[in-house]
Amino acid sequence: MEEKGLSIIVKTATRWLKGFIFLYGIYVVIYGHLTPGGGFPGGVIIAGTFILITLAFGREYALGKMGKLLASELDSLGALLFLFLASMGVYFTGTFFTNFIEKFHPTGNFRLFSAGIIPLCNLSIGMKVGASLFMVFIILAVVRVVFEDGKGKLISTEKEKK
């Protein structure tokens, strides 16, 4: 761990800041129907948190937090949840992508649970975008070559061109 990653200043700053950046990403996702933001920027901010951890601490630490298999599962889960929400509109009202949950909060519009399926859709989109962008960063920049060792387990090796 000591020789991996960047200098101790970057590591200390990352250790203090990563929680706040992650919380900001979750805030942007959940409040996307009331304030500027939504699933796309929030998902990219969440992916940016993991990329910051990867750059600062080295890839073993970050892959211990969130592995490639978990990232791909979250990616597929977000897409399937979005499709499921769209299909439930067919079940309840007969039209694809209908906002089938009650849209008005009893005490007013500007509440967290006030816009039907839009917060749930934001949550699934944020999950999908964050997981897939973190996975593409792992594939492109950190792990040079990805192997499969016969039983579906992924092994990563780094091959440097001298």
Partner 1 sequence: MIEIVVGLFLIFIVMASIIAIETKDLLSAVVAFGAVGAFCSIIYLLVGAPDIAITQLVVEVLSLVILIRATIRRDLTTIDEDRDFFGLVATLAILFIFFLFGIEALRWLPEFGTPAFVLNSSAPTNRYLLNGLRETGAANIVSAVLLDYRGYDTLGEATVLFTSILGALAILRIYARKRRK
Partner 2 sequence: MIYYLCFLVFLIGVYGAICKKNIVKIILGLMLMEYAVNLFIVLVGYRKGGIAPIINKSMSLSEFVSKSVDPLPQAFVLTSIVIGLGILSLMVAVAIRLYERYGTFDITEMKKLRG
Residues that bind partner 2 (CB under 8 A): 34-36, 38, 40, 44, 110, 129, 133, 136, 139-140, 161
Residues near 136 by beta carbon (within 8 Å), at least 6 away in sequence: none
CB of 79 to partner 1, least distance (A): 6
Footprint (CB under 8 A) of partner 1, residues 88-117: 96-97, 99, 103-105, 109-110, 114-117
Judged by CB under 8 A, the residue of 57, 63, 125, 130 near partner 1 is 125
Which structure tokens are listed for 44? 């990219």
Tell me the C-alpha to C-alpha distance, in Å, between residue 108 and each of 113, 114, 119, 161.
10, 8, 17, 62
User: For residues 132 and 74, is the Cβ–Cβ distance under 8 A?
Assistant: no
- Residue span binding partner 1 (CB under 8 A) among the ranges 4-12, 26-34, 59-67: 26-34
